[in-house]
Amino acid sequence: MKIDAHCHVARRSGGSSRGWTNADLVEAADKLGIDKLLCSTPVSRGQPTMDVVRECNNITYEAMKEYPDKILGYAFVNPGYFTESIEEIERCVKELGMIGIKLYNQYRADEPVVLPIIRKAAEMQIPVLWHAGHPPSPEEALRWGQPRISDGVHIAALARKVPDAILIHGHIGGGGDWEWGIKALRNVPNVYVDTSGSVVDEGIVEMCVKYLGADRVLFATDLSMEAGVGKILGANLTDEERELIFWKNMDRILRRRKV
Amino acid sequence: MIIDASAYIGHWPFRRLRYNTAEGLITLMDRNGIDKAVVSSINAVFYKNCQEGNEELAEEIEPYRDRLIPFATLNPKYVAWREDLERCVKDLGMKGLRLYPLYHNYGLLERESRELLSEAAKMGLPIEIPVMLVDPRQHHWMDLDRMLPLNQILEAAKQHPENTFIILNTKTVSPIIEGKQPVPKNVYVEMSRLTAVLTKSIQALISRIGVERVVFGTGIPFHYAKPALLKMEILDIEEEAKEAIYWKNMAKLLGLNAD
């Protein structure tokens, strides 16, 4: 059993495609033995309006309907829209059946603007997946076009403010300094890391387990499908740890929902 | 049979590597069913006088000559490289070169490179070029923040048809696949960071340059071996073509028996 805690569907907002279809995604998952794909459709640059946010979530919902046994959805919101974001979360979770919230880089995790959303997520006991990473320098964060990307320190600060929230530091293997991210989260029990991203550095999964414990590590791909599965299979883990990471931890999170 | 075209021994200054000795590499190879590996010295990348790294490498792999195939690291802008090249090949049994133009601050199209490539061609030595050693998005503040552009390797290959170039650790093959000019026949690509599903860059590469010019690699001990092995397992090509990638193509380049 494998649950991919961080994935995306084929379409983006504005009608652009990633060059493959949802059928291709499901076929890839089947080849790699991935049972569930937890997907979102975020906007990766700039401040999307509510219309764009709703369009994104409708794209995710279409994929959920297309593959109801395979694709589950996260609701993407822009925290700058206070009331509308909360309403959109309620629409996505209660009406469309989404299982969590996806936040990107519109605001950093330690900015007060995100608190209403995080408190709402804590109330509903649904996970919040953060696009996260620690760039080598602020200048490089700017060069990436992501001056407000959150890292482990920012997410830890938020987690301490809302200790009953379930937060996920996205793609620890997504390209930033993963040692920074893991160390920052050591003493913050309500934050999980997902192992997605194209980085397959030997030892990355073992360090997650060593610092956070196997029960705070979630298997994910973020569309680096073979890398995602391969690094968990390649890591020096017990069978029990591998099971926790591949699906049991995420399954446990999903069972906490009060919706 | 599996030949890994991309393995390393030595100390990486910016992160603790495990399995970075000859014994460690053999452990990883045994764990992953890899029979032979082309290996070079990481130390040689950072010593001003690379040759000392080559000497260390030769000494360390001596008990494992049947499985570890040494490649020399040389800097054509450093004094006495011709003598080092001769010693590496004649005395230390090195079977090819691994070059680092960015780390050693030269261009492949410069005069010194032309002279080194010419000597390597006379000796029948394949040239491996890692476009990066670690993902630049997570680079240490004293490490490189960029990858070697593939176009520089393609141009060098065009100008030096008598040499064989093997590109290592590249995540993109767009300049190869999308280039309007024919890809030089003397360019090979190692597949560990490419994809077998979704974007299917391995298949696109095969379509463009032929299966006979794609080679298997892992990047151990920087990387887990399993992601690359998984890509090969699920790759939708004939078994015979897989055999070519797993080992036959590289065996031919190394002058080993490929039957």
Q: Tell whether pTM > 0.90.
A: yes
Q: What is the mean pLDDT of residues B245-257?
A: 96
Its ipTM equals 0.96
Residue A243 neighbours by CB distance under 10 Å: 15
CA atoms within 13 A on the CB side of A237: 27
Q: What is the mean pLDDT of residues B164-172?
A: 97
CA angle A171, A172, A174 (to 5 degrees): 60
Condensed to tens digits (0 to 9), the pLDDT of residues A85-127 reads 999 999 999 999 999 999 999 999 999 999 999 999 999 999 9
Condensed to tens digits (0 to 9), the pLDDT of residues B79-122 reads 999 999 999 999 999 999 999 999 999 999 999 999 999 999 99
**B196:A226 CB<8 A:** yes
In the structure, what pLDDT confidence band is assigned to residue A177 with cuts at 50, 70 and 90? very high
C-alpha B81, offset from chain centre: 20
> Which tokens belong to A133?
């990473």
> Which tokens belong to B175?
């300049």
Residue A20 neighbours by CB distance under 10 Å: 16
Strands (E) across B107-212 are located at 127-130, 165-168, 187-190
User: Does the structure show a pLDDT above 90 at B49?
Assistant: yes
Q: Which pLDDT score, from 0 to 100, does residue A172 have? A: 97
With a CB cutoff of 8 Å and minimum separation 6, the contacts of B118 are: B160, B162
Q: Which pLDDT score, from 0 to 100, does residue A91 have? A: 98
In the structure, what pLDDT confidence band is assigned to residue A43 with cuts at 50, 70 and 90? very high
Residues 102 through 141 of chain B touching chain A, CB cutoff 8 Å: 134-135, 137-141
Condensed to tens digits (0 to 9), the pLDDT of residues B74-86 reads 999 999 999 999 9
Q: Which residues of A touch B (CB under 8 A)?
A: 18-20, 24-25, 27-28, 31-32, 133, 135-137, 140, 144, 175-179, 198-203, 223-227, 229-231, 233-235
> Which tokens belong to A21?
């279809």
Q: Which pLDDT score, from 0 to 100, does residue A17 have? A: 87
User: Does the structure show a pLDDT above 80 at B259?
Assistant: no
Residue B79 neighbours by CB distance under 10 Å: 10
Q: Which pLDDT score, from 0 to 100, does residue A136 have? A: 94
Identify the bridge partners of residue A225 per DSSP, sorted by sequence position.
Answer: none
Rounded to a whole number of angstroms, the distance from the CA of A178 to the nearest CA of chain B is 8
> Which tokens belong to A104?
């990107």
Q: Which pLDDT score, from 0 to 100, does residue A16 have? A: 87
Residues of chain A positioned with their CB less than 8 A from the CB of B141: 136-137
Q: What is the DSSP string of B199-231?
A: T-HHHHHHHHH-GGGEE----BTTB-SHHHHHH
Contact call for residues B164 and B186 (beta carbons, < 8 A): yes
In the structure, what pLDDT confidence band is assigned to residue B142 with cuts at 50, 70 and 90? very high
Reference A131, options A108, A114, A164, A162; nearest CA is: A108
Cis preceding-peptide flag for B221 (omega within 30 of 0): yes
* Cα distances (angstroms) measured from residue B141 to each of A256, B12, B47, B145, B166: 41, 14, 18, 8, 28
**A201:B197 CB<8 A:** no
Amino acid type, A182 = I
Q: Which pLDDT score, from 0 to 100, does residue A74 have? A: 98
In the structure, what pLDDT confidence band is assigned to residue A259 with cuts at 50, 70 and 90? confident
User: Does the structure show a pLDDT above 80 at B258?
Assistant: no
Whether the CB of B207 is below 8 Å from some CB of chain A: the reply is no
DSSP assigned state of A69: T
A–B interface: beta-carbon pairs under 8 A:
93
Contact call for residues A179 and B15 (beta carbons, < 8 A): yes
Q: How far apart are CA A244 and CA A251, in angstroms?
A: 9
Q: How far apart are CA A181 and CA B17, in angstroms?
A: 18
Who among B140, B222, B230 is closest to A229 (CB)? Answer: B230
* Cα distances (angstroms) measured from residue A259 to each of A74, A89, A103, A120: 14, 12, 20, 12
With a CB cutoff of 8 Å and minimum separation 6, the contacts of A233 are: A242, B226, B230
Whether the CB of B213 is below 8 Å from some CB of chain A: the reply is no
Pairing of strands B3-9, A217-218: unpaired
Using DSSP, state whether B195 is helix, strand or coil. coil
